Structure 1
Amino acid sequence: LYTLDSQIHQSDHESLQGFGKWIARKWQNAEARRIEGNKDVVELQESPEFLRHQWEEQVASQTKPLPRQSQTAGKKAVEEAVRLQKVRDSLVTRISRFEDIICDVDADGVDYIDAEEHLPILRKQLETCQNKLSQSKRALGVNDHASFQHLTKSKYINYRMNARALKMRLRMRLRARKFERNCIERSARRQQYNECKIQDQTEDSVKRRDPGIQKLARSYNKHVSDMLELIRRRQAPRNAVAPLPITLKGLFNLDVDDNIWEDIGLNDDDDEGPPPWLSSERVRKGIKGILLRDWSDEELRRL
């Protein structure tokens, strides 16, 4: 019994010692990763809030559903714009009524409290609705005073909405390809000789998707040609401007100044270029650094 008890105590002691060494090793690795990540964040000279915001935008952009082509895309876009306009008008009416109650010195106390409670919520809803309506109008290419009804059966608007959907899908595919290529190039530097075959297979799988991306670009250019033809025949809305076709040569370079980022004729009055999380190598490095630092902090807290 004494021998058995001694063996159990010895086993517990060794297990505890091994567990302590494991925790120490994990702690040292987490500290090293945190220092590495923090170095990238400090070198960028941007606030952690900015980097986290860029990461959230990247996740939202890469996980949102992509728009699809449809024979009734133009009609659906017009109907959605009309719906948003009605919602906006309704919100404006309700806000005006509540503001009148607050300004009325003889208003009932319950109504006054109700108005004070609902006004901030309604104003926030109005701001959101106004932004969505502005985006819809830019997508349709109409100004703030234009009527949507005459656009319901417009072939040009249908081509425009489908071309917009194609371009957004093409951008997403090109972004995904760029990130995959970057991962392959980084892993190729670290891989041993016996892992080269796996790396070659991964690279081949990326290249196999290239014809599909080129097909998207050709479909987009076909829509652009159709829009130009409608403008030539004067069957497009007044002052309509067709978007620029995409040059297939150098399509996969994804340079900042490529016309893949230009939305002329597709998203009027929207001059924003590619986001920093995509166009800036320094910002991408900073995002990886802040994620590595946050992950290390979380692991250190658990340890």
Structure 2
Amino acid sequence: MQNRDLRTLREIARLGSFREAAERLNMTLSAVSMQMKALEAQLDGALFDRSTRPPRLTPLGRRVAEAADEVLAAEDRLRALAGPEAPLAGRFRLGLVASASARLLPDFLQSVARDLPHTRFDLRTGLSEQLEGLVAEGALDAAVVTATGVALGGGRHTLLARDRLILAVPPGEAPLPFLHFAPTTGIGRVIAAELAHRPDLRDAPRIVLDHVETIVACLDAGVGRTVLPEIDLARARQPFDATALDAMRSLVLVTRIGTPLDAYAERLAALLGVRSAISAT
């Protein structure tokens, strides 16, 4: 059974005439008649009462015509999912650095449910370098990471946000150790590059931590000073002295060039609630 036969049946049911259906479908009358006889043979039932002129649908024919409407509507929906103007659809694997997930995920998931009803995302968190490598390997479809350079070969960076780094120091005169976000991570490398120009911080006793929440809690307790993106320091509950630095943290969406999510990167950036700019290698 072919859907073109069902489309012909639908037109006959709508117009009440083989001849008019043939004209509508740009077919010959004999071709329409042969299609319907073939459909009846496949269904093993009479769809038309041919004792009348023109032939009329039998009760079975009317039920089949109604069911054909449902089948053809489903076909149209499938074509809409896959056509060149179709919205993004499918199941995708998205990675996020933990420090950005709390900030971005709630609004993103709400936006996806509203604007991309045929799309699902399987989520995982990790370090920037690890996640970008998984995108390059094809193990992830995209990832939100801290950029520490240009995209890996075959990849693209879509800028999500640029956050200024802030030196945060608890009130008081006592020298304090430096709370360093793990320098093996994306944001940690950005901070380490800034420390190279700041001997007062570079040479201070150092405590290495790998969670923003832990660093902010230590800052609140007054046991150390730190450098973090301004937006992360907004979690602090206690006042601190803030000095804006020249360095910026760039949060990017990593995709592989030519993939479905790469073609949709600008829209994904909008769903993440930011304005995007693109760079690629």
Q: TM-score, structure 2 length as denominator?
A: 0.25
Please state which structure has a larger fraction of its residues in helix. 1
Structure showing greater radius of gyration is 2
Please state which structure has a larger fraction of its residues in strand. 2
Q: Which has the bigger relative contact order, CA under 8 A and spacing at least 6?
A: 1
